[in-house]
Structure 1
């Protein structure tokens, strides 16, 4: 459920986290899920199939994107698009200069133009079955355009637990990797994107 607080903006849930007021009702859970799936799929995976053009940096014209959504969902309002983006706790999307894009998670071939990360170390969670392969061959994207690294051990553990019960957390020597010419792009406060991490920058964090 998405609502809007007059003082603190859009939020998800029954009440504003800051002032505890219920705010103005916008979207129920069902409509939020439908719009969220379409936004994610279009901005990350199939813009052409959805009928929108995406530039080399992942941007889509906001008005064109809204028009496509309006044709698909006759109850759609442009405010709903802003509400989805601004209330997203993971910061998955951004709107800038009448354009919209996903911050990460792409399978389409784009070049995200984020600034370089200044974290000296980054983290990546792996299952026990794959960790030896990663230490030998490095980390490469499989189904996505970029490898997604975490800016903290805790976030890497949280992500890894979605896929495995016994994650092993790898530490990346980001400072050394960047010195050697590997680009590490800061997508959000939690996520850094890269095209590859060779094995010489990987170390297991022992319990």
Structure 2
């Protein structure tokens, strides 16, 4: 559920995490999920299919997206769209003046490397299944269904992400500092996610436990 605190803005849950106020109702769980799926599809996977125009960096006009959304969901409003973005703990989307885009997760071709700051962490992490590990160590990490490889900024975040797909993930460590010195572009999207077009195998090793 999304609600709005007068002092701290939109939040998800029963009460404002900053002050405990219950806030004003904006969106229930079912509509939040439905609207979230639509926005994800429109901004990451099939903008043309829903009738919106996307620029090379993934930006679309906020009003255009809202108009398309209202045709599908009569209850869709600009406030509910903005509340979905501003309350998202994972920082999936961003709004800049009259434009909106997904920060990551695109299957349509977009140029994000030039849009975000260069990664400043020496090491990054990537969780995979036991079956995938040897193949990636030999061949490198490259996107399959998305435009970019999504690396994690910590061992724990990589394990959390990989655990959605496999019960016993292998965590790979990427020597990002050396890779970037050698010309591999790696950019920071948010506190948890870093993007690259691909990571060659010479920069990858296996991490057995957190902190090694």
- Name the TM-score class by shorter chain: over 0.9
Could you list the runs of 5+ residues in structure 1 that have no partner in the other structure?
Answer: none
What corresponds to 2:146 in structure 1?
Answer: 144
Measured against aligned partners, the alpha-carbon deviations of 1:85-130 in whole angstroms (never above 9, x if no partner) come to: 0000100000002100000000001101111111111000011111
For 1:167 and 1:32, locate their aligned partners in 2 and report how far apart those are by CA, in whole Å.
30
For 2:157 and 2:208, locate their aligned partners in 1 and report how far apart those are by CA, in whole Å.
16
For 1:64 and 1:77, locate their aligned partners in 2 and report how far apart those are by CA, in whole Å.
12
Could you list the runs of 5+ residues in structure 2 that have no partner in the other structure?
Answer: none
Measured against aligned partners, the alpha-carbon deviations of 1:146-189 in whole angstroms (never above 9, x if no partner) come to: 00000011100110111111111111000000001000011111
For 1:194 and 1:19, locate their aligned partners in 2 and report how far apart those are by CA, in whole Å.
38
Residue from 197, 200, 205 that aligns with 1:198: 200
What corresponds to 1:168 in structure 2?
Answer: 170
Measured against aligned partners, the alpha-carbon deviations of 1:56-103 in whole angstroms (never above 9, x if no partner) come to: 000000011111111111122110111000000100000002100000
TM-score by length of 1: 0.98
> Stretches of 4+ moved more than 2 A in 1?
none
> Partner of 1:130: helix, strand, or coil?
helix
User: What is the deviation of 1:44?
Assistant: 0.3
TM-score by length of 2: 0.96
Q: CA RMSD in A?
A: 0.7
For 1:126 and 1:120, locate their aligned partners in 2 and report how far apart those are by CA, in whole Å.
20
What corresponds to 1:42 in structure 2?
Answer: 42
1:181 equivalent to 2:171? Answer: no
